[in-house]
Amino acid sequence: MINFTVGPVQSGENVREIGSRQIPYFRTPEFSEIMFENERLTKKFAGAEENARVVFITGSGTASMEAVVMNVFSREDKVLAVNGGSFGQRFTDLCKIHDIPHTAIEVEEGKTLTKAELIPYDGKGYTGFLVNVHETSTGVYYDMDLISNFCKKNGLFLVVDAISSFLADPFDMERLNVSVMITGSQKALACPPGVSAIVLSEDAVQRVNNHRIKSMYFDLKEALKNGERGQTPFTPAVGILLQINVRLKEIEELGGVDKEVQRISDLAEDFRNKIKDLPFEIFSESMSNAVTPLHPLNASAYDIFTVLKDEYGIWVCPNGGKLAEKVFRVGHIGALTKEDNSVLVDAFRDLQRRGMI
């Protein structure tokens, strides 16, 4: 199988080799050093400030989304949440669950957020802003400079879900004045799913430490306290954290975050050039390097997903809900090559010859 989904993605040889080993005991100085290195490199690649901290949660990206909403906002806040798809909806659902006063900025699926859509909320007393910088369900990549400038002007505490965008698109927490960034192990980090990371600015750390929540597992104060010694409050996914370590070091050795972003950008551009004469429309008006969302003109998107999987040994990423028949997505993250792109495009051309697209 060749995996063109947006997570879990294909892992490289070094990551897979770590996964074949026995899991070591982790309450040791050696494991603490690995965790310190994970924190250092994650901060570096995120463009975080020197005094920022990283918390690693054993849980999916949604676990960290919930932990952040619980730990940095309260009933005294007034939060804006961008909702342009299923992951934007997730942020609004979390605000409802935890009684955080909020307003959803509803963005049409496949469309990006515009300045005109932000103007009605300018100077209206909001205190926080939640956005999935890459709304993975539709492939839309939001303009972070636009959002950052709006938040700076209004003094908003900015939380960014960069789960599928981290390492695939340029991102600089400090320049953008992002207070919290969230990412996950199974996207461009190309490790197995099961760990998510929360990068907290110094201001965010202070907010967490001053905020009381009713949770044991998701109390980030305990995670920050344990992180001072390179540990976690509870048993983490040790094996995945070791894989994250080897992957972060691999990125560093190959030239750092800019090189990795460029590699993924090149893969995305190569694929998009190769499909120009095929009967697809690109669904999103603003795309991340991480994924290309495609609307087939003459076929069911879900049927294409199924036939590629069952007859060609290729996974693309299907959609759910009302987009299931309309859009499928092709990922460019993980251990993929331009040759892999050609294999997929050849499969599309074969489907076209068969009258299936």
The b-or-e profile of 99-130 (16+ CB within 10 A means b, else e) is ebebbbbebebbebbeeebbeebeeeebbbbb
The neighbouring-strand residues paired with 103 are 80
Mention every residue, 6+ apart, whose C-beta is less than 8 A from residue 7: 164, 184, 186, 187, 193, 331, 333
Element (H, E) at 208: helix 202-209
Q: Give the separation between CA 143 and CA 284, rounded to whole angstroms.
A: 13
In Å, how far are 31, 57, 303, 314 from 310, measured between CA atoms? 42, 35, 10, 8
Distance CA 109, CA 121 (A): 21
Q: How far is Cα 137 from Cα 142, in angstroms, rounded to an integer?
A: 13
> pLDDT 10s per residue in the chain (357 long)?
999 999 999 999 999 999 999 999 999 999 999 999 999 999 999 999 999 999 999 999 999 999 999 999 999 999 999 999 999 999 999 999 999 999 999 999 999 999 999 999 999 999 999 999 999 999 999 999 999 999 999 999 999 999 999 999 999 999 999 999 999 999 999 999 999 999 999 999 999 999 999 999 999 999 999 999 999 999 999 999 999 999 999 999 999 999 999 999 999 999 999 999 999 999 999 999 999 999 999 999 999 999 999 999 999 999 988 899 999 999 999 999 999 999 999 999 999 999 999
d(CA 291, CA 164): 9
Per-residue pLDDT tens digits for 21-58: 999 999 999 999 999 999 999 999 999 999 999 999 99
Beta strands 140-141 and 195-200, pairing class: unpaired
In 3D, which of 104, 110, 106 has the Cα closest to residue 135?
A: 110
Largest CA distance in the chain: 63
Predicted pLDDT of residue 138: 94
Can you tell me whether residue 218 is helix, strand or coil?
Answer: coil
How much is the CA Rg of the chain, to the nearest whole Å?
Answer: 20
- The CA-based angle 289-136-215, given to 5 degrees, is 125
Amino acid at 17: E
Instruction: Scan for tokens 């929540």, then name that residue.
Output: 213
- pLDDT number for residue 49: 97
Tokens of 308: 């590629």
Cα–Cα distance for residue pair 263/167, rounded to 1 Å: 10
Neighbouring residues of 293: CB distance < 8 A, sequence distance ≥ 6: 110, 138, 139, 282, 283, 284, 287, 327, 328, 329
Strands (E), 16-59: 53-58
Question: Alpha-carbon dihedral of residues 166, 69, 135, 107, nearest 10 degrees?
Answer: -140
CA distance 215 to 57: 14
Burial profile 249-264: b = 16 or more Cβ within 10 angstroms, e = fewer:
eebbeeeebeebbebb
| Cβ-contact 6, 291 below 8 angstroms | yes
Buried b or exposed e, range 284-321, using 16+ CB within 10 angstroms: beebbbbbbbbbbeebbbbbbbebbeeebebbbbbbee
pLDDT for the residue numbered 326: 97
